Homo-oligomer: A and B are copies of this chain.
Amino acid sequence: MSNVYDIAYDLEKALRNSSDFQDLKKAYDEVNANEETKNLFEEFRDLQMSLQQKQMTGQEITEEEVQKAQGVFQDVQQNETISKLMAAEQRMSMIVTEMNKIITKPLEELYGPMVSN
């Protein structure tokens, strides 16, 4: 049997060479090549993170914050370069989630579907 680490490194290489990752890298570079687009994307990410943080710690999100988030989200959706990046991120995130589901299958079978690693 091959060593699990050898296979994990093969998987890393295959993911890195996949068109999904290459598309993501290209979209990411495109967003960062334009200062305005880069700033908008960073503003969106910061806002998203601060709202998630508040939700997780049970802090109230103000009406003002909701409106600001909606505005930034609209700008982001209208930006083709960022939209392309977000779609590529979603695909990559889905693939990584599926990889994790596959490799934790033995554990899930042992413990039932409620296990968290």
Contacts and interface: CB of A to CB of B under 8 A. Distances in A.
A2 B14 CA distance: 7
Interface in A63-117: 92-93, 95-100, 102-107, 110-111, 117
The complex is assembled from copies of this chain, and their number is 2
Contacts of A10: 2, 7, 10
Interface of A: 1-5, 7-12, 14-18, 21, 24-25, 28, 56-58, 92-93, 95-100, 102-107, 110-111, 117
Given A58-B57, A103-B96, A117-B96, A11 B4 contact: yes
A99 B110 contact: no
A14 B37 CA distance: 44
